[in-house]
Structure 1
């Protein structure tokens, strides 16, 4: 089934990437591996490339894009590649050489083109590439570990070297006229070097972190196949959170153990042959260096290590939230939060609950790693389903723009436009257009949107203020759906964000930051959902009871954060799938 994870056995290359579906424990695993290697005398640099990094929460310290020493471990350094900060530096680097040379109006246009989410992504990639190709930096450390973003973003990030290299190789006019691509040609050799480093099994190991559950394992198999396609073949499978025993009279631990065993016996064929390791389920919060040191042998600790929290859990059920949304007449509903907290399941249950109350509902997802169909099944009755597929939207957008300009451009002009539309940034514009069209459906039916993990979601929402400029430049038109999007998102009578979290440190910190960002953008967030709660399950198993007790302090904080607009979903013995199970979940009256 897999051997116990030992960082000293697994770490055979200088570059280690920890990737996987959101919420599987990438950050905890990467941090604990870094601590273990540093404790053994190795010099280690830990890097986060996640737009929604949680390294600072785990270590309890502020981080920046400059490596700093971690705690009292002399050999361990950590850095957080902040995409927004990197984007500002990138923009300045592109624009500053032209100040005093070009007219102010031209400079203003350049700055506008460099203000969208494309620039954020390119800038983050720029720093990521610099780390991979920096020989002096590499010589300072025995290992450089990357705590990467949830799978959809990670694949995008790791594919960028190939995407940019391919685009530059095909380019006949130098850099595209898209502002964010300014100056990329000069770094062509650097990007090719990054591709070689990622593909070299003597330099790079990709650790696919997953949980012993069906959906994360399917996601790991998909990620493995896509990464194999771009040449990253040195992969290891790490199954985190394995319950090695159960309490016979405890239905929760018995069900969890059986579910995990079944999932591990039916691992997708694409990853069956990978080297496989396991980490036992921890009964404690993974914050602080001492907790990280116990992570890989966490089965040796139990509930007695967790202080007892006083009082039972008393939070209303999901049905309270659904009734509140229906009563308030909300037309656009987002589920948001850290990857892996159950946004898709909650969005599906909300959609079913509203449909059961007689409303027409459209349920959709903007997550690049979407698995809506796996949880919901086929559409039923009052509910229709969709997904924003980046590849499909890109092709549709390219065709539309070329068609609109076909009569006004000569052959050379069309060739230049087609080249422009092959840049990786165009995909983001296409997805944004589709997102705006999706929200516009709220005129006819309630739209429930299962959004991508936090970092990607915020980039998508931030784009509402910037991409209309790029859309107008590319096609000459700003659709009505784009013009009306921000007013709709900011109207509390029309839009509501449901923040989904687990009662654990990192998801709660992430959710709190998300709510702050949403408030700054003027987007209302009223309800919080505490999902998969062991504290609400009634378990008596020592390991799970330890987790339950650890949850209670976070549940109390969530109730305060939400001004008593929090609901809770107990850990369920069965994976929620299909209309009937979602209906039961949304109708429960747990208190």
Structure 2
């Protein structure tokens, strides 16, 4: 990896969900530590899987990775950080102010914004306060999927500007004194991000047109923030070993075409190509080989006795999903597992059965409209929850209702409150609730955001009530009934989407646990992009087939009540024809 020839002290890894950011960050950390350098690896992703990749139980404190001398790793825990932040803000007033006033402060600090600023508070200490990481030669950040990362990286400017321009002394986070104390650290964080001599932004992507578009958008937006020292990693580039294997040929051709059409915004960046491996990048030994000359991969037992042992396709779920005649279908899972494809395929299948269907997304990346392209299908409408538009409409509504009767100072306070980064979270949440409510008289299929963001969105339902009623005089019916609707198995069906790989399956299992804690029971699991049902002769792909079986069996035996398996598609599942193939796979490709 070229950027390791003269690495900067701070290294950020970002990119579209599922492209391998964690693997690349871990490989970088291990290889730097192997040089005798002291390295701190930090995950800012709410759905972090550093523990599994490194084989070490981590916490919110720097923990030594025993198998790699000089390497330490940690997960920033948003919930723990929020709890500590809340107590730091409220604690000094216990026993000083009346109990009612303290309780009001606690409620004010219970919103989703507190969760985000608290996590950022921890992040900024590591990047903006040199003394916090002085004992390390390098600090590596394994960041969350792109939408979260962009928000994380723009927060330094957003919050430092908010503090600088706020004159009232209050905010959606309560008294600004607690934030003001951090202003210097936030400013130092901004400076560190923009310092090319100190920070490298590593954009991780796949040889895929959609992933390249996302990487290009990220690159441009980060450059606008002053983050100009960027490097591109194209991960998992497949090269066929057989000229006679249609699947292997298609896989290589898809990657070759994407690489030949790489967007200009990232085409000129220094680039590292990482070859595809059939068994993933789990464990320290595998991480040490990343970016180095290829070695012969180990093999599994060639007895691929899997015929007829795999689940039915996505079409096997459509009858039951259609039975009620209306309701909400949520496609949920780790970033990059194909939630958009699954949601769009289900929406098309239901519309072709004569139902009125609305397909929408809460994902900031919003690839769903590109999946269906410009084609039209009777009964199917496609939309998107646009954060910018929702925020503007919400702010206008609050000023039109809650500002009635306020004096000039009161209106100024409310306007400043609405300029805070928290307002977007509230606005998007309301739009999500409205979309769910539409399921009363038709089908609503939602392509939701990656796992961590989705769970935080659902978990914020109760806290939202306290936050929104602080700014307006009432709560909409859609918000009030959101949790009951999500918890009603006759109204809401959750499809947990995953890939037949360790990390996606285990993160999907965590998602299922979170959903069950919220009293939401998944309807089925969908295992996407599997090679198991396909006829292949390429040796690497045959080993990959057997590698997948353990995870398919894990899902069927211990995690899911119902399972559907979607084969890898020779042609990208774009447009109505491609989505129909996802639901009813071309039988000529299966064994």
- Aligned partner of 1:19 in structure 2 is 14
Q: Out of 145, 152, 155, which is 1:150 matched to?
A: 145
d(CA) in 2 for partners of 1:22 and 1:212?
14
Q: Give SS of 1:156's match.
A: helix
Instruction: Note if contact 2:388-2:424 (Cα within 8 Å) is conserved in structure 1.
Output: yes
- Aligned partner of 1:540 in structure 2 is 537
Q: Give per-residue Cα distances to partners, 1:37-78, cap 9 Å, x unaligned.
A: 111211111000001001011122211011111132111110
d(CA) in 2 for partners of 1:283 and 1:368?
30
d(CA) in 2 for partners of 1:298 and 1:252?
25
Note if 1:62 corresponds to 2:78: no
Note if 1:338 corresponds to 2:339: no
d(CA) in 1 for partners of 2:423 and 2:125?
24
Aligned Cα RMSD in Å? 1.7
Q: Give SS of 1:466's match.
A: helix
Mapping of residues 166-245 of structure 1, within 5 Å = 166-179=161-174, 183-245=178-240
Q: Give SS of 2:140's match.
A: strand
Q: Out of 109, 119, 142, which is 1:124 matched to?
A: 119
Q: Give per-residue Cα distances to partners, 1:279-299, cap 9 Å, x unaligned.
A: 000121322212222333484
- Aligned partner of 1:136 in structure 2 is 131
Structure 2 unaligned blocks of 5 or more? none
Instruction: Note if contact 1:212-1:241 (Cα within 8 Å) is conserved in structure 2.
Output: yes
d(CA) in 1 for partners of 2:454 and 2:561?
25
Q: Give SS of 1:47's match.
A: strand
Summarize the Cα distance change of 1:137–1:563 in structure 2 as closer, same or farther, 3 Å threshold. Answer: closer
Summarize the Cα distance change of 1:411–1:230 in structure 2 as closer, same or farther, 3 Å threshold. Answer: same
Q: Give per-residue Cα distances to partners, 1:131-173, cap 9 Å, x unaligned.
A: 0123234331111100000000000001100110121122121
- Aligned partner of 1:296 in structure 2 is 291
Q: Give per-residue Cα distances to partners, 1:77-103, cap 9 Å, x unaligned.
A: 101101111111111111100000111
Note if 1:320 corresponds to 2:326: no
Q: Give per-residue Cα distances to partners, 1:250-281, cap 9 Å, x unaligned.
A: 01110011110110010011111111111000
Shift of residue 422, structure 1, vs aligned partner? 0.2
d(CA) in 2 for partners of 1:254 and 1:477?
59
Q: Give SS of 2:299's match.
A: helix
Note if 1:465 corresponds to 2:462: yes
d(CA) in 1 for partners of 2:177 and 2:446?
34
Q: Could you state the TM-score of these two structures normalised by the residue count of structure 1?
A: 0.96
d(CA) in 1 for partners of 2:395 and 2:116?
21
Shift of residue 7, structure 1, vs aligned partner? 5.6
Structure 1 unaligned blocks of 5 or more? none
Moved more, 535-544 or 106-115: 535-544
Note if 1:394 corresponds to 2:391: yes
d(CA) in 1 for partners of 2:557 and 2:379?
35
Shift of residue 327, structure 1, vs aligned partner? 2.4
Q: Out of 476, 479, 482, which is 1:482 matched to?
A: 479
Instruction: Note if contact 1:7-1:37 (Cα within 8 Å) is conserved in structure 2.
Output: no
Instruction: Note if contact 1:133-1:194 (Cα within 8 Å) is conserved in structure 2.
Output: yes
d(CA) in 1 for partners of 2:175 and 2:56?
33
Q: Give per-residue Cα distances to partners, 1:449-490, cap 9 Å, x unaligned.
A: 000000000111111111011111101110111111111000
Aligned residues: 586
Shift of residue 175, structure 1, vs aligned partner? 3.5
